[in-house]
Amino acid sequence: MKNDDHIVLQDNKEKTDNFCEQCKKEDESVTQNLIMHGYKICKSCNLAKTIFPI
């Protein structure tokens, strides 16, 4: 491997959009719920899902 000093690593971070999958509104809590629970919904949809789980 010649010229190792010219290797550039790209930062391929996936940008998460903050749009709720159920109500399609943008909210900051969508990313938080994605990290904590594994699904992309906002706080209000999460509350509704908890109260009315159907």
The C-alpha atoms of residue 49 and residue 17 are separated, in whole angstroms, by: 21
The larger pLDDT score, comparing residue 3 to residue 48, is at 48
Per residue in 1-29, pLDDT (tens digit) is 565 565 555 554 555 589 999 999 999 99
What is the pLDDT, as a whole number, of residue 32?
92
What is the pLDDT, as a whole number, of residue 54?
75
What is the pLDDT, as a whole number, of residue 8?
57
Tell me the two tokens of residue 48: 């509704």
Please name the amino acid found at residue 10: Q
Q: Where are the alpha helices (DSSP H) in the chain?
A: 29-36, 43-51
Q: Does residue 5 sit in helix, strand or coil? A: helix
What is the pLDDT, as a whole number, of residue 30?
94
Please name the amino acid found at residue 23: C
The C-alpha atoms of residue 36 and residue 40 are separated, in whole angstroms, by: 10
